[in-house]
Every structure is written in C-alpha cells, then in structure tokens.
Structure 1
Amino acid sequence: MSAAGPVPAVVDAAGQGIVPTVAELVALRAEAQRTPQPRRGRHGVHGPAPSALRGRGMEYAESREYVAGDDVRRMDWRLTARSGRAHTKLFQAERERLTLLVADTAPALYFGTRVRFKSVQAARAGAVAVWTALQAGDRIAALRGGEPAIPPATGLRGAMRVLDALARWYARPPQDDAGLEVALEHAQRLLRPGAQLLVLADAASASRVPALRWTALARHHQATLVLLQDPLETSPPRGEFAFRAGLRRLQVALDRAAVRGRWHQAFVEPAQELSRTLPGLGWQVRCLSSDAASGDWLRPRDAGMAGSGQEATPLSADG
C-alpha cells in the first residue's frame, strides 16, 4: 500500500479497506446500538448523561421584570436601560445537544498495513459516533479544514449527510486540506456550551496544535480525541523493508537501533505525549488501531498508552 494515498492501479478499492463506502458506514449502526444510551426525561431532556455537561447548556427564552431573589447575573441590562425597570432573562434547557465531528485529512492517514487504511478507520469511528449521537437525539455536524462545515441537523437525514461527507473526505487526500488547526479554529466558532466534540486525527497533526486551542475547546464541551494508528507504526517488525512514498522508493533498516529510535520518535512519541498531556486540559484521548473494532474508542479502558499494539508486518514489502 502507498503512504501517499490509494494506489491508482486499484480498480475496486471500495470495501477493501482502502476507500470507505457509505454502505459500510451505514452498517456500523449496529455497533452504536450495542452502546448503552442515556435515558430521556418526560420533557425530552437527556439524563443522566454519561459525563458531566460542560457549561450552562441553556438557551435564551424571554425577559421579564426582576423580582427579589432573581440571579443578578442574568439581568437583561439592555431592556432595563430601555424600559427604566429592572428585567431579568429567562433560559430554557437545550433539548438537543450538538455533536460535532472534526476530521483531520492529513496525507499520513491514507495508509495502512492491517485490515484497512487509517483513513477508513477514521471514517468508521466517525460513523459510530454519528449513530450514537442519533440514538441520543443529538444534532449532528461535521467539518474539516478546507471546506464549509456540514451544518447541524437531527434525524436520519442529518446522519446521512455526515456519513456521506466522511466517505468523501476519506476516499483520498483532499487537495485543499487546510490542516487540523484550521479545522479546530472553525469548530471553536461553531460550538456552544454543552456540546460534544469528537476529533479524528493523526497524532502528528494533533501534536502541532497549540495547547491553548485544546484548552479552549474543552472548557465548555465534552471533548474526545481519537488518534488513528497503524500496527506498523506502533510495533514495527525487525528487518530491512522497502516502502513507496509517492514516486519515491525508500529502504528502511528497522533492524538497526538508531533507525528504530527515530521511528519511535516519529510515530509513537507524539501519541504518547498527547495521551499524557491532554487529559489534564479536559480531553479524553483514545488510540484506535486500524485493525481494531471501529467502536473500541467508545468502550471504557486504559486508552492512555499509545504504541501497545502487537507486532505488525506489512501487507507488501514494497509499500
């Protein structure tokens, strides 16, 4: 397989682990249905939630005259000034939480040696999140760096729009990819307090995002980062192997300690560092291998250790 993207000679890559299909993303609905969902109250408010809701999670309803005991932090100062009488704002609970998927589309994701490309696993992990959000009654949206966001929508129609985008984004590296940091900046403008944020990314892309961005995104939202990995990256075999990167053919001596050290530094350490630092900034970090079940990132486990996969061997020694 090629690290630069799907091999042009492959006539039918769909369904072979190289290009995701909408059909396989739809089929993952069964994976989400096996995940316990929060119960609904009589008025449609979710509860108890699987984790604490970040922020107020309320939307403005109306204003009325202030009465003794009202929270002064909710004063409607504009109406108070206009009418000459003190008014306070009333809020109602948001009945539909927003689930936003942010897709990293860096070229490094369009690569794989076991079962499927990392890009296909990213699309599948996103699909599990979509079906889980649909089951919970959330509004669903998605974006990547380089094009307008898929706007929030509820129901099956909203889910299918996001699945279609995931299949399209992860079919091949987009020519207009603006990078993960740009996508996260866009996400910060779209999110409201109480939203759920899922970021699908390569560790190298995520490691280049400033800590301040991660902190700001997790401040009022439930934030999860899924790092896509391949067994060849986390546990390379010993020996000398040939790889193809674009038009170049590379020989990598993975039986030499110095080469393995640089390999570890390039592919394993970024994920380990993110798993170590981001939880302190309010993030859940999950490492998902390309040969794992696509819903594994949802299951509680010790996912903070990157690079713990089994020994992997390339499907083809020449890439």
Structure 2
Amino acid sequence: MDTTDILKRVRQIEIKTRGLSSNIFAGEYHTAFKGRGMMFSEVREYHYGDDIRSIDWNVTARFNHPYVKIFEEERELTVMLLIDVSGSREFGTTWRFKKNIITEIAAVLAFSAIQNNDKTGVIFFSDRIEKFIPPKKGRKHILHIIRELITYSPEQRETNISEVLRYLTNAIKKRCTAFVISDFIDDNFEDALKIANQKHDMVALRVYDPRETLLPDIGFVQFKDAETGENQWINTSNKNTRQAFNKWWEENERNLNTTFTKCGVDSVAVRTDEDYVKALMSLFKKRN
C-alpha cells in the first residue's frame, strides 16, 4: 500500500467513524464513561433528600449541623486503546478481516474521546509491547493513530494479553478507561486483568469471525496457525473432529465470560459479519 492509498484509507475511516462518533455515540459515550472519576468540589449544608453517605462528619461535628461533600465528574479523562496486532487478527472469512473491524472500532472510540475533550493513547501488543503512543488530544493525533492502525507491521505474531495489562498498570499512573480490543485467543491473563481493573476502568472488546465458531464439513483442509506458522491437515468431514472443535469454542466462550465477570470487567463480542455499532451501543447502555 503506497502513501496515496494509505491517505485515502485513513480519510475513508475518518469520514465513517467520525460520523458515527458524532451522530450516534457522542451522548452514549459521555454517559457511559464520564463521571467514573469524581473529584471533590466543596462542602455545603445538608438539604432534605441528600444522600446521607455524602455527609462530611468532621465538618458536621465542628459546626453542630449536617454538611455534605459535593463532587464533580472529572472534565478530562484518559482513554487507552490496547490493540492486539498478533497474527490471528489477519483472519477473516467474510468481506472484512478482524483487523479491519479492530481499526474501525478503535477509530470510533478515539473520535468519541476527543469530542468529549479526553486524551487518547494506544498500546499495540502481540506477545510483547510493540508500540506505545502517549495520550494526547486533537484530530491530528487521532489521524496519526488511524494511520498506525492501518500500516503497523508487528515484529511478533503470538499473543500475550497479560504482558500488555502489566505494561498499562505500570506505564499509566493516573486512572484511565482502557479498551482491550482483541480476539482474546489467549489464556492465563485473569490475574493481570484483575489487577489492571483495580487501578483502571477496563473494558474488553472481543472481535471474532463466524468461521471460528463452527467447523464446516468440506473434507480434508490444510490449516495454518496464523501465530505459530504451523500447518496441519484436518478431515473436516469427521464428525468427532467437528464436535471437538465446537466444544473447544463453547468452552473458550464460557471461560472468557467467566473471567470478565470475575474481574468485574464490562465486555462485548463483535462478529466480523455483523454491525459493530449495535455491539458498542449495547456496551454503552450496559454501563449506564
């Protein structure tokens, strides 16, 4: 892809995702993610109907009259996009690969963030930290992110979600909202996710292809592992093989949902052959 094609693709994504963030997601994003961080504003006298949990007992004791603490939502948040750039994102059996969906979702979230005056940063990861783009504001910064999403070529092809979660916890000191956008073909990241969610507001966005859920009966097929490069012939006409594959998917699905629930992390799944707008709206409404 030459420079002209890259700029054209960046512009196409900007037009589509900026429009979505302006016309559909702006209010939903604000409601779902603003106000998660609250800062102290002032103390005033207690009024009938105030939540008694907000009473400032020290001030109340000093003046012998009830006073309450008033908090305001933080006007500026930091949004971090943790983008999976491992080999499996290059898989797709519909008209879009997983990486195309990941790019558009990341762009929508980035434009929604800057419209709410939030900073946006990005961490590309495989089984290592591939690239870190520090949080900033502005359209120029978002276009730089989109260009990197389109053109970045990772040095490694395998996946280690725990690695990026540990990096986020150590690198971003102030509490942020962090979206992990991945197919989550990995395991043993529960502890790292739990720790990260104690410091930050973690959200999991899982992108998958419909062919990953069901193995078709099409005879002998050579499969290649996108992350290890390993090739293997599989007889898809074998009923036991298809059942084993389906069982793996169902178990993986249950394990992921259990992990997200145990860690207290909001999550949503997006299929490459479906409209991701509905999935994001569902996520935002779930957080309201």
Alignment partner, residue 296 of structure 1: 278
Q: Does 1:23 align with 2:11?
A: yes
- What amino acid maps onto 1:286 in structure 2? V
- In the TM superposition, what are the counterparts of 1:89-168 in structure 2 within 5 Å? 94-145=74-125, 146-168=129-151
Contact 2:25 2:281 in 1 (8 A): no
Distance in 2 (CA, whole Å) between partners of 1:231 and 1:123 is 18
1:53 shift after superposition: 4.5
Distance in 1 (CA, whole Å) between partners of 2:96 and 2:135 is 29
> Secondary structure at 1:300's aligned position in 2?
helix
1:153 shift after superposition: 0.6
Alignment partner, residue 184 of structure 1: 165
In 2 relative to 1, CA 277–178 (structure 1 residues): closer, same or farther, beyond 3 Å? closer
TM-score norm. by structure 1 comes to 0.66
Counterpart pick for 2:23 among 17, 30, 34: 34
Percent of aligned positions that are identical: 19
- What amino acid maps onto 2:23 in structure 1? R
Contact 1:54 1:221 in 2 (8 A): no
Distance in 1 (CA, whole Å) between partners of 2:165 and 2:154 is 18
In 2 relative to 1, CA 252–176 (structure 1 residues): closer, same or farther, beyond 3 Å? closer
Question: 1:60-97: per-residue Cα shift (whole Å, max 9, x none)?
Answer: xxxxxxxx947xxxxxxxxxxxxxxxxxxxx9974310
Alignment partner, residue 257 of structure 1: 239
1:138 shift after superposition: 0.9
Contact 1:104 1:179 in 2 (8 A): no
Distance in 2 (CA, whole Å) between partners of 1:243 and 1:287 is 28
**Which structure's relative contact order is higher, taking Cα pairs within 8 Å and 6+ residues apart?**
1
Alignment partner, residue 229 of structure 1: 208
Contact 2:222 2:232 in 1 (8 A): yes
In 2 relative to 1, CA 193–175 (structure 1 residues): closer, same or farther, beyond 3 Å? closer
Higher alpha-carbon deviation: 282-291 or 172-181:
172-181
Q: Does 1:242 align with 2:239?
A: no
Alignment partner, residue 262 of structure 2: 280
Counterpart pick for 1:198 among 176, 179, 185: 179
1:152 shift after superposition: 0.7
Distance in 1 (CA, whole Å) between partners of 2:58 and 2:95 is 62
Contact 1:226 1:287 in 2 (8 A): yes
Contact 1:233 1:267 in 2 (8 A): yes
Alignment partner, residue 197 of structure 2: 218
1:150 shift after superposition: 0.4
Contact 2:38 2:74 in 1 (8 A): no
- What amino acid maps onto 2:200 in structure 1? H
Question: 1:170-215: per-residue Cα shift (whole Å, max 9, x none)?
Answer: xx5544877332222111123355421100112212x331x22111
1:223 shift after superposition: 1.8
Q: How large is the RMSD of aligned CA atoms in angstroms?
A: 3.6
- What amino acid maps onto 1:238 in structure 2? D
Question: 1:261-280: per-residue Cα shift (whole Å, max 9, x none)?
Answer: 33234444323321233123
Distance in 1 (CA, whole Å) between partners of 2:39 and 2:86 is 33
> Secondary structure at 1:272's aligned position in 2?
helix
- Answer 1 or 2: which has greater helix percent: 2
TM-score norm. by structure 2 comes to 0.72
Contact 2:221 2:236 in 1 (8 A): no
Q: Can you give the 5+ residue segments of structure 1 that lack an aligned partner in the other structure?
A: 1-10, 40-45, 59-67, 71-90, 305-319
In 2 relative to 1, CA 53–238 (structure 1 residues): closer, same or farther, beyond 3 Å? farther
Distance in 1 (CA, whole Å) between partners of 2:233 and 2:159 is 30
1:154 shift after superposition: 0.7
Q: Aligned pair count?
A: 250
Higher alpha-carbon deviation: 251-260 or 157-166:
251-260
Distance in 2 (CA, whole Å) between partners of 1:92 and 1:118 is 39
Distance in 2 (CA, whole Å) between partners of 1:133 and 1:230 is 27
Question: 1:125-181: per-residue Cα shift (whole Å, max 9, x none)?
Answer: 111111221222210000123334101111112212221221123xx5544877332
